[in-house]
A and B are shown apart, each in its own frame.
Chain A
Amino acid sequence: MEFLNQLMAVEMGQGLAGIGAGIAAVGAGLGVGRIGGSALEGMARQPEASGDLRASMIVAAALVEGVALFAVIVCLLVALG
């Protein structure tokens, strides 16, 4: 019951910010998943290159996550003020 009260007391702006953060998580998951998938595929085709591929994968994942976290920051700002 307390939980339901807590849910009801959330304003719409904050609720939408929560949805926005969820969509940002979907974007991050899709992006990094694709990167990981193609990196693994490349490593399977050519195991000698796996060192290079691993480094590139990590860098690309960090860049993509940067964009997703930008959306998270915006949602945080909306939710808290």
Chain B
Amino acid sequence: MSLSVAAFAQHGGHETVSAAVEPQAQETAIHADSSVVAHADTTAAHEEEEGFSIGTMIMHHISDAHQIHLGGSLYIPLPVILWHEGHLEVFSSSNFYEVNEHGELDYKPYKGFENHHEQIVYVGEHTEEVAGHDAHAGHEAHGVKVLDFSITKSVFGLLLVIVILVIMFRAIAKKYTSRPGQAPSGFQNMIEPFILFVRDDIAVPSIGKKKAERYTPFLLTVFFFIWMCNMLGLVPFLGGFNITGTLSVTLVLAGIVFIITSVSGNKHYWGHIFWPPGVPLPIKFILVPIEFMSVFIKPAVLMIRLTANITAGHIIILAFVGLALMFGQDSAVAGYGVGVGSVLFMIFMYFIELLVAFLQAYVFTLLAALYFGDATQEHHHEEHEHEHEMQSAH
């Protein structure tokens, strides 16, 4: 049977393959975020009826979802908020699925809306074509996209991080005002080294002592926010949040850095971009377009660096777990044997991921501070400026 399915996949007979794997495609709860469709992956990887597909599992754990999967058959449904044709629809996402005996989700339509791979489309009340949609046509097949403002897993994680940060830092700030001049104690004691680290080792060397105070609140916020979001994504068994690993969140963070940099750019900053001093005229023709593009590319790279690092870390950990499950499919002994080794590797990768969580927050904050410092640079003489850059560059 596996041979025949592989032969179909090679011939590219989409209709036959999709008909064969359609029931599994809906049962195994494939979730795909944005426009990544994991269909090619499932058709290639599904040899037998209830096989374990490591690609599907990884995509399921990285992508956003409308419910939180705590493990096994335990799902926490989250509110679905849709704006469709002029009115607001709010309901629980548990209307969209039923948990079957394998602990996976069977999707069903509700009120004319359907949940295609965690993207909600509107197909209307009187359609009977729900189960027959072509697996490769994606979510646009029969439905109209609606504006989805739901509280998804990532949004819930964001709100959780916000609540944690607000509670934590309000308590710490209150300690500073209620015990002035005394040695820090308790939670304040734990967080103060990091606050001083951001201010004295990131903000002041990059921006300069005079102007750092304007930007330090933002840098502190962004540092602790990214660090906390990364750490939340590493907590096992709690539904697998992947907040900073989604491009939307990091796009907003990088966009804010871009806005602050551009708004606070003084004339030296823009002057250096469009008319670099000390550069011969022919090279200016090459340098000015590059400098102008770098205004946009630098925040974009910030965004991709954070997303890629966090997502790659999650994928590696999930791959080690999935490796044991994949081998365990064939024989229980192989599963246990590989499982021991893969759990050890996974623990090692977890330590690295904890380091990466802090490191990526540090690198994002440092680069943001460097861009702010660039934007608010003072006028120096040539050699003075060179020396200043060498001192402040880490």
Number of contacting residues on A, CB 8 A? Answer: 24
Cβ-defined contact, A80 with B59, below 8 A? yes
What class of interface size applies to chain B in its complex with A? 20 to 34
Asked if B177 lies at the interface with its beta carbon under 8 angstroms from chain A, I say: no
Cα A21 to Cα B53 in complex, Å, equals 20
Cα A70 to Cα B306 in complex, Å, equals 10
Contact residues in A for B305 (Cβ distance below 8 Å): 62-63, 66, 69-70
Cα A73 to Cα B35 in complex, Å, equals 14
* Total CB contacts across the A-B interface at under 8 A: 76
**B376 smallest CB distance to A (angstroms):** 21
**A72 smallest CB distance to B (angstroms):** 6
Residue among A2, A6, A56 having the largest count of chain B Cβ atoms under 10 Å = A2
Q: Which residues 1-26 of B sit at the A interface, judged by CB distance below 8 A? A: 2-3, 5-6, 9-10
**B138 smallest CB distance to A (angstroms):** 9
Residue of A nearest to B329 (CB): A2
**A18 smallest CB distance to B (angstroms):** 12
Residue among B40, B301, B311 having the largest count of chain A Cβ atoms under 10 Å = B40
17 contacts between A and B (CB under 8 A): A5-B47, A9-B6, A9-B45, A10-B44, A59-B363, A59-B394, A62-B359, A62-B363, A66-B301, A66-B304, A66-B363, A69-B304, A70-B304, A79-B41, A80-B36, A80-B55, A80-B59
B residues with a Cβ closer than 8 A to A are: 2-3, 5-6, 9-10, 32, 35-41, 44-45, 47, 55, 59, 301, 304-305, 307-309, 311-312, 330, 359-360, 362-363, 366, 394
18 new A-B contacts, CB < 8 A, other than A9-B10, A69-B309, are A5-B47, A9-B6, A10-B44, A14-B40, A56-B394, A59-B363, A62-B360, A62-B363, A65-B309, A66-B308, A69-B312, A72-B312, A73-B304, A73-B307, A80-B37, A80-B38, A80-B41, A81-B37
